[in-house]
Structure formats: structure tokens, C-alpha cells
Amino acid sequence: MIPEVIVNEEQVKKLLDIGEAVDAVEKAFRLYALGQCEMPPKLYLDLPQFNGDFRAMPAYIDGVAGMKWVSVYPKNSKYDLPTVIATIILSDSTTSVPLALVSGTYLTSARTGAAGGVAAKYLARKDSSVMGLIGAGAQARTQLAATKYAVPGVQLVKVYDPRRDMAEAFSSDLSAQLGLDIVVVDSIEEAAQSDIIVTTTPSRSPVLLKKNVSPGTHINAIGADAEGKQELESELMLSSKIVVDDMAQACHSGEVNVPLSCGLLNRQDIYCSLGEIVAGIKKGRESDDEITVFDSTGLAIQDIVCAKLVYEKARVASSIA
């Protein structure tokens, strides 16, 4: 059976407002913490012969069931293609009838940015005004837009990327668009002197060190999404309040996976999930001096609530047309 609504990539970009995505993802974290959705672990199909992998991510939330089929092919740039390519199918949870087929490539970037925005809302200091970005790719763009929505006090952005042309293009594109002062800096150390730091690299060795991070900083660790990836020095993690999106998934493939596997970190060192904070089960930031880290691996519930939002807006748009 063919879904009644098919939404392509360009339509998703027009329909999915980043602020609406932040609100939808915040709701998803709350429902997850309250046990009101279903989300089995993501399934990996590793294809090392093609230097990539596929991931199947099913979930039920808020009246719909769905699955994202997503690939991560780091060498796709040589084909002028995105590293991450995704498709999402939504079904009615009562009848199982397919409702929509939604392009998930931009949506994946947006929902990941939205999670970072939610984390900053609850974990960054209330007076945060400076944001540092380590990495200036597609994910950095949605992280910035979502954080600006969730933490309106952010005014200055420092961006570092070893590909300086990428950082310059980032600054040029987003300064006027978001009404922010975005400056390109020459080192990670400069970018790290910020109230909120976001790392969006594919690194397998730490790029952000403890000595470069000031008390009171909030960090969104976004890049580690598979075993062996690590952006933050283990000593930095040990001195921080660690919040994950999902405990099992983070321990397997998030920022905590390397220090856990090396025995430098224990599960008991992980404070809680972001959903528990959003739902009021746990406290978020408790002092202006503590360093907080959000370990984001990306959850299927984020994809499904955003895809549902796109589906509903697409239906309204088609009825008006």
C-alpha cells in the first residue's frame, strides 16, 4: 500500500520550522521519560567494503508508528552527496495503514539540532550569551539555529573548522539570517571560551580538552554516533555532569562509549537522561560553576515526531492548494 502523502527533501526544508522542531523534540523527550512511547534499539547494518553503514530506527509515539532508514557514508562528498541520507515511513498506529513517506536527510539534521537546543535550554546557564562551534558542517547549522531559538540570549558565535573556507561560508550565510555576530576563530581553544560549546566532528580522538573548558560551560557533544568515536577528553567527561539522550544507546555508540570501554568511566557516572530533566524527574543545572555535557546519539522518537509534524503540515498545504 502506497502512503497517501509523499514529502520530498525540498518540501521538508520548507515545512519543518526549526522552532517547531525544538518544541516537538522536547515533547518527545518528555513522553519517553514518562513511558508513553516505544523505541527498540536501532539496528546497524555495517558495510565496511563501502565505507559506510545503514541504521533502522523504529518507534511509536503520539499516535503514529514509524521507521527511519538512514545511511552514514562519510566519503559521499566525492559524489557530491550528503554524508547522511535518510527516508522515514509513518503509519497509523491503530490500523497500520501507511500515512506518509518523508525524506529524512534534512529532517535528521534538524531533529539533531533540536535536541541540542532542548539540552541547552535545560542545562546551559541562564545568562549564556556566547556559543562556540567546533565544526562548521550541515549539523552545526541546525545546532546553531535551534540553540538560538531555545536560548535567545545567545548573541556571539565563535566557529572553528580546520577547513577555514567552510567556517567563512558558515559565518557569511548565517550571520544575517539569524541576526547573530558570527566570527571565525583560528583554534579550538578560542572556540571553547564560550558559555555553550557544540562539537559536530567525526573524530575518533578527543578534540575538546578539559584544560580548555571553563567552569559553568555547557557542552553538546553531537559527533559521536558509533563505537570508537570520541570528541571530548575522558578527563573532561569525568569532571562534568553527563546527560544522555538514551542510556543504552549512548553507552554503545555515544560520547561515553570510549571512556566506558576503557574503564575510565562507569555507568554510575552518568547523571540521567535529558527526558528525565524535561519531565521534571531530575534537576538540570544546579550551579553556575558545574560543567554539563549532553551526549546526543539521535533517537527514533525525534525523527517520528518531526516527520509527523511535516506530514500534518503537508496535508494542510495540499488541502489549501
Whole-number Å distance between alpha carbons of 116 and 245: 10
Quote the CA–CA distance of 89 and 58 in Å, as a whole number: 10
Cα gap 182→25, rounded to integer Å: 26
AA identity, residue 50: F
Apex 245 CA angle, 9 and 265, nearest 5 = 135
Catalytic residue flag (residue 308): no
Quick one: cell of 258? 570510549
Q: Which residue in this structure is represented by grid cell 545568562?
A: 127
Task: Outline where the chain has alpha helix (H).
Answer: 9-15, 18-33, 105-123, 138-150, 164-178, 188-192, 234-238, 247-253, 257-261, 274-278, 300-320
What's the Cα-to-Cα distance from 11 to each of 14, 123, 188, 191, rounded to whole Å?
5, 33, 36, 34
Query: Per the residue annotation, which of 13, 14, 42, 68 is the catalytic one?
Result: 68
- In 3D space, the residue among 39, 43, 19 whose CA is nearest the CA of residue 29 turns out to be 39
Please tell me the distance from the alpha carbon of residue 278 to that of residue 27, in angstroms, as a whole number.
8
Q: Would you name the residues annotated as active-site residues?
A: 68
